[in-house]
Amino acid sequence: MTNEHNKKSIPWYAWPFWALWKLVSGIVEFTGRIVAVILGLVLMIAGVVISLTIIGAIIGIPLVIVGFLLAIRGLF
């Protein structure tokens, strides 16, 4: 089967609502990615700062790892 058979056509009267929905969902998705990247960078910086002490390394290293994974998830 080709994609042509799987595509659902949008009726002409519903197109403005569909277009508005796609626009809003795209903006929300982009905003979510930006927030994830920024939060990941903040967690990495906080983890490095906390890791400057030996006792803080217990919390800081996992914080850096979680921040890194969150930033990667936001980018890709």
Number of domains in the chain: 1
Domain assignment of residue 26, yes or no: no
Q: Is 41 exposed, middle or buried (0-12, 13-18, 19+ CB in 10 A)?
A: middle
* Structural domain that includes position 65: 32-76
d(CA 67, CA 73): 10
d(CA 70, CA 47): 13
- Tens of pLDDT, residue by residue over 41-73, are 999 999 999 999 888 889 999 999 999 999 999
d(CA 38, CA 48): 16
Give the residue carrying structure tokens 């002409």.
12
**Predicted local distance difference test score (pLDDT) of residue 5:** 55
- Tens of pLDDT, residue by residue over 9-34, are 888 899 999 999 999 999 999 999 99
| Cα radius of gyration rounded to whole Å, the chain | 21
Domain assignment of residue 15, yes or no: no
Question: What pTM was computed for the model?
Answer: 0.75
